[in-house]
Chains A and B, each alone.
Chain A
Amino acid sequence: MKKTYLNVLALLLAALMILSGCSAKPAPAPSEPATTPAEASTPAESTPAPEPAESTEPKHVEVLRIGTTSTNDTFNLTTQGGSFGVMNYNSFVAGLFWERDEFGKPQPGAIKDYSISDDNLSITIYLPENLYWHDGKQVTSDDIIFTFEYARDVLLSSRLKDIVLTRDGDYQATITFPEGDSAFAYVNGQTSWLKIYPKHIWENVADNKEYMGEDRVIGCGPYRFVSVDEDAQLATYEAVENYWKGEILVDKVTVKSYASQEAQIMALRNNEIDAIYNYSGPISATLFPTLEGDPNCDLGISPDPGNYMIMFGYNEAPTNDYPFRKAVTLALDYDLFGQTIYGKYYNIPTKGVIPTPNMGYNSSLPEMTYDPEAAKAVLEEAGYVDVDGDGYREDPQGQPLNVLITPQNNKSRAELLTRIAAVIADNLDKIGVKTTLDEESLTSREAWSARSENGGTYQIYIGYCTSGIASYIGAPMYIVNYTETGWWGTWQDPAYMDAYNKVRASSSFEEYEASMLELQEVIAEQLPAVSFAFGTSSFPYRTDKLDGWINFPGWGVINPKTWYTTYSK
């Protein structure tokens, strides 16, 4: 029997040793969270690219090794799937019409220039004469015309259904939108996404998604696809010689796919990759301690234009009632949300929902305040009182109140969304409001779609605005009830719709910013949504061998400029 005990003890010890081996490094103490907004770090400024010494030529990077969590399984210029698809947001293999700079503004991508007509209805695109497809054919205005026709007729972009296309020469074409539309809005909305398609390849392909021809990866961006090892999940790309935009400093790029962020971080620490890129998937704040203190790695912190937020459902009571919404916003512990979502790097949000780095951010709006006593008073005044003495409030009609918390259905964010929901539940419990987590929406995409899309029936919805979407209109787009778009918004307040449409119709950045300021004021007044925190994004990178990184806010150091600025030390 003694032997049996010893065996059991040995097994338990072995299990302990295995578990200890799983951890990253000898216990770094988890970061002490900031206790007050003032102590919370201001989102870091994006790191300007250190200029190489004037006297020496920047040294080319032989191979830039990028780690991502998108899989290396889809290689098709016309789709956005897999790592190939999301890498193309960085003007990579695909030639983009417009790419976004570090200040959030659209710049010409593979095209030489573009202009918008005075009536804000036409976009004229100018191509460089020395832009070539990766198979050697020249890119001409025929490809531009084809791209818009293909987007309209095959990819079924409803926005393009009434456009008029004009070929102005071999290297110039004009797209004219119908009256009431906005060319400026189109450019902003399509920046980072719209690619030029090669006519000679895709004109005879009816089902683009199923097309498996080898030429499906032909683009006109600065890199050409070389190979993929699907077993190793490693894709290889090489720089195009004499690319028209200038000298490419990164000769070769490998994109390795990892199953999780933890694996990515370990790969970065072990010098298997140089930088991390996940479209709109910054590294979780809970992973910061594994990199903090590593002299060869930088967390790549930048202010995040995207954000997590509550959207209140206007199709359901009590969230269609302003006093109830106000009480909820007063009951939320924004510091705790900041710590839960962003670790140490966050600020208390303002009432305008739109985070600080976005164009048109309204800095005049007040910060959200955590005041449960004020929240209780608001509820009392509005008739939400505890009638039956069970510790929870009933609605003004005396009916039991049980507010549903519906998190967005998102596998990679499920744990964080659940934690956010737990904090909301606790905060509302403290003011006597009973809540239930909508577990079905969390685990079933069908249940979530039914609950949230096309005039949703949610009450408190936890959503996430990606940094990509945030760069143009962003969070307000999710709030508005435009049922034809299939988004989740349920609000149709006339003042808001008016301001929202002004943003959509704006013809310049000045107009855009002015309309955005107005939009945020309406949000602050009516509280259809509330941001949990204005935080930061982290896309870590190594600093020991490479330099010249430019950290785009919310996007990271892998961006359209990487290929031209990163150099070997």
Chain B
Amino acid sequence: MIKNIWKEFRKNRAFRLGVILLLFFISMAVLAPVIAPYDPEALLGMPNQRPSAAHWLGTNDIGQDIFSELVYGSRISLKVGIVAALAVTTLGSTIGMVAGYYKGVVDKVFTVLTNVAMTIPSLPLTILLVGFLKTGMLGMVVAICITAWAGTARVVRAKVLQIRELPYIQIEKLMGVSDFKVLFKHIVPNIADIVMTRCALSVGGAMMTETSLSFLGLGSFTQKSWGNILHFAFYRNGVINNMWWWYLPPILCISGCMLGFVLVTHYGRSRSQLIKG
């Protein structure tokens, strides 16, 4: 798989750009203590400063360094995105695999569930769930997980339905190989690219949801994420006062990160086309 990824990286420019963007943001998160010039929680005594050599993106309304907030904010945003995406992908893939492989009543039940889940607008439902769940990252991840699994389940189910009819799978089943073995030995490897693609898309989606929730003030007030920075930039009137150095950087970071995840899915797309072909 690594060989395939490397091959894709060399020949697919979109994929290459996506990987570079993601590496940039992941490095930002991992190396935050090295990159950030200040503790993002520290009050430096100079509120509402414009960008300067000392504060590249100025300071916010209570004198915290915005660049340091932004760097550390990548940690929470990516963490929520990745954890939620893993949960969403695991749940959606399991449901899709079970429904596609067993067909019949099981498939009908899961398909109805999936269709119902897909008809409910996810952001309002997530907002509702976050309102009921405990404030913090866990509540947000659970809410995202409950509302975002359906797309993955549907795609995986369709692919599994296709793969399970392939002759070698039918032969394995006739030979009495256990369902578990068939699923994990033959089906999972064949849907891995799709699952990875969905997972990459889910990270972007979950990050966007986290940002939306934090912007609306439904996230944690104590954890600095890009959405949280935007929330205070908006509600403490950085936007109306045209303090672009406060509200623009988190928007660009979210957009760049989302773009990275979307471009990376080019890899999955071309792989699935290869499988189809």
Contact = CB atoms under 8 A, between A and B. Distances in A.
Partners in one complex: yes
Interface of A: 1, 4, 8, 12, 15-16, 19-20, 22-31, 33, 262, 265, 284, 286-287, 289-290, 333, 336, 339-340, 414-416, 418-419, 422-423, 425-427, 437, 439-440, 442-443
B115 interface: no
Interface of B: 13-14, 41-43, 45, 47-48, 50, 61-63, 134-136, 217, 220-222, 231-232, 235-244, 247-248, 251, 255, 259
Summarize B's interface: helix, strand, loop or mixed: loop
Contact of B136 (A22, A425, A439): A439
Contacts of A419: 61-62, 232, 236
B239 A22 contact: yes
A4 B50 contact: no
A19 B242 CA distance: 9
Contacts of A1: 13-14
Nearest to A426: B43
Contacts of B243: 27, 30
A418 B240 contact: no
Nearest to B46: A33
Contacts of B222: 437, 439
Contacts of A442: 221
Given A437-B222, A439-B135, A439-B136, A290 B241 contact: yes
Contacts of B41: 422, 425-426
A343 B94 CA distance: 55
21 contacts: A1-B13, A8-B259, A22-B240, A23-B241, A24-B240, A24-B241, A27-B242, A27-B243, A265-B240, A286-B241, A287-B241, A336-B45, A336-B47, A336-B62, A336-B63, A422-B43, A423-B62, A426-B41, A439-B135, A440-B134, A440-B135
A26 B63 contact: no
B136 A23 contact: no
Contacts of B42: 426
Contacts of B43: 333, 336, 422-423, 426-427
Contacts of B255: 12, 15
Contacts of B13: 1
Given A19-B248, A287-B240, A29 B259 contact: no
A553 to B, nearest CB: 24
Nearest to A447: B135
Contacts of B14: 1, 4
A384 to B, nearest CB: 22
Given A1-B13, A27-B243, A426-B43, 9 more contacts: A19-B239, A27-B241, A33-B47, A290-B240, A336-B43, A419-B232, A423-B43, A425-B41, A427-B43
B237 A262 contact: yes
B258 to A, nearest CB: 11
Nearest to A439: B135
A253 to B, nearest CB: 27
Nearest to B243: A30
A15 B221 contact: no
Contacts of A29: 50
A242 B191 CA distance: 84
Nearest to A422: B62
Given A23-B241, A290-B241, A415 B48 contact: no
Contacts of A418: 221
A290 B220 CA distance: 29
Nearest to A284: B237
Contact of A339 (B47, B50, B231, B244): B47
A14 B175 CA distance: 59
A23 B135 contact: no
Nearest to A266: B240
Contacts of B63: 336
A262 B217 CA distance: 17
Which of A30, A419, A423 has the largest count of B CB atoms less than 10 A from its CB? A30
B209 to A, nearest CB: 18
B114 to A, nearest CB: 31
Task: Count chain B CB atoms within 10 A of each CB in A23, A26, A333 and give the residue with the most.
Answer: A23
A308 to B, nearest CB: 14
Contacts of A12: 255
Contacts of A284: 236-237
A419 B42 CA distance: 12
Contacts of B251: 15, 19
Name the residue among A15, A29, A426 with the largest chain B CB count within 10 angstroms: A426
A284 B248 CA distance: 22
B241 A30 contact: yes
A415 B233 CA distance: 10
Given A24-B240, A286-B61, A290-B241, A30 B136 contact: no
Contacts of A26: 242
A334 to B, nearest CB: 13
B224 to A, nearest CB: 10
Contacts of A20: 242, 244
Nearest to A425: B41
B240 A443 contact: no
A336 B60 CA distance: 12
Given A426-B42, A426-B43, A340 B247 contact: no
Contacts of B135: 439-440, 443
